[in-house]
Structure 1
């Protein structure tokens, strides 16, 4: 028998719902080069999932001589312009959002991006899906702290331990697990390594409502291909 669906699904945005990471990398690279520095792919991957203030500090170390707030605003300006012209949804994301909406499962966006960018990136989301949005400029402690996920569950009025959080980055996964949410890692730019209590998939195309119900009920599903980092193909009880 398929278990009941989770009380809510809590979604990361960048790299999980939409493929905005190339836009962030392009904005970072342009800003560092403007100040005569160099910015590599490896540098950019260090920033995936981190609060924007942390990213700004690393850009300052790379030579960007601007105040933290101005660095953040310059980055947001760049990515807003990118997604305004073209938003790339991750495979399977819109279908899963629509299925959850039709099944009556509330969804929240939990992102370290600021609200003005998150609203622009989500303007093409299926109607009536993301009823709550928690953004990086609205929390005291960003990912990997559990505060963003705890805040989302609180606003939705649900027990976070009855929610499924969906993430792609190490800081995001750490935040979700620390909050007590059942957590699904979807591999994108950085490897999703095996962790206790973490379900893993290579793509949201491999996820349906039945899988989310099982994860929400406490199963740990590992559907990572055998050539992906870490163990794969496991299904264990949690």
Structure 2
């Protein structure tokens, strides 16, 4: 398991770039949003419910309790939230074992952040077991630590995950750049006071103050991350 202990010695004064980069996982670094929808669709199909694609953008990027709760409401299933959550996570992990491809530009970006010694953390609404499974593809060495949705009291869109990650790295939130793919994640990062780079996956995201929208991680470089904070200062 990747350490979730505070990381000391992160430089904030006199910095030339971001004090830290905080990265989302599903749909941002790993192309898993489709796998989550497949897992949800298969589990609900076994209960006799066909999920309408219209709900896909609603459940993307949020905690399991919210996503599954929404699907329970729209389908009217009598299955309970805890058992559905366990079933969907188990189905998802089986799908991941067959292979979860990285998003375009993800491997290059992680290698570049590591080469430039930029403190980097993974901040996800996914469970710890899910993160650990996908770290085999991502490489644990690229992250100072990882933070899962079951390791915080309130997950995205609440700011707690990004506030917690910034604090563990000893960085002010305003000196951090968050990379996200969903409106839920962007809302969490903005509420925490971070600069945001959004690379939309399923749901559209509009540019806004403090939110830069890119088409792909292939467009994101360390010099560009530096420029976002210079513009905000």
Aligned to 1:10: 22
Q: 1:143 aligns with which of 156, 162, 167?
A: 156
**Deviating more after overlay: 9-18 vs 151-160:** 151-160
Deviation of 1:81 (Å): 1.1
Q: 2:215 aligns with which of 202, 209, 218?
A: 202
Aligned to 1:49: 61
Write 1 or 2 for the structure with the bigger share of helix: 2
Structure of higher RCO (CA pairs closer than 8 Å, 6+ residues apart): 2
Unaligned runs of 5+ in 1: 220-237
Q: 1:38 aligns with which of 50, 68, 73?
A: 50
Listed as ranges, the matches of 1:1-238 within 5 Å are 4-61=16-73, 62-219=75-232
Distance 1:130 1:68 in 2: 32
Deviation string for 1:89-111 (max 9, x for gaps)? 00001111111011111111111
Deviation of 1:52 (Å): 0.7
Distance 1:19 1:147 in 2: 25
Distance 2:39 2:76 in 1: 15
Deviation beyond 3 Å, 4+ runs, structure 1 = none
Unaligned runs of 5+ in 2: 1-14
Write 1 or 2 for the structure with the bigger share of strand: 1
Deviation of 1:67 (Å): 2.4
| TM-score, length-scaled by structure 2 | 0.89
Distance 2:210 2:81 in 1: 36
**Deviating more after overlay: 205-214 vs 130-139:** 130-139
Deviation of 1:28 (Å): 0.8
Deviation of 1:13 (Å): 0.5
Matched positions, count: 218
Deviation string for 1:189-225 (max 9, x for gaps)? 1111122221110001011111000112235xxxxxx
Q: Is the 8 A contact 1:31 1:64 kept in 2?
A: no
User: Quick one: structure 1 residues 127 and 51, their matched pair in 2 at CA, closer, same or farther if it must change by over 3 Å?
Assistant: closer
Q: SS at the partner of 2:138? A: coil
Deviation of 1:127 (Å): 4.7
Distance 1:108 1:67 in 2: 33
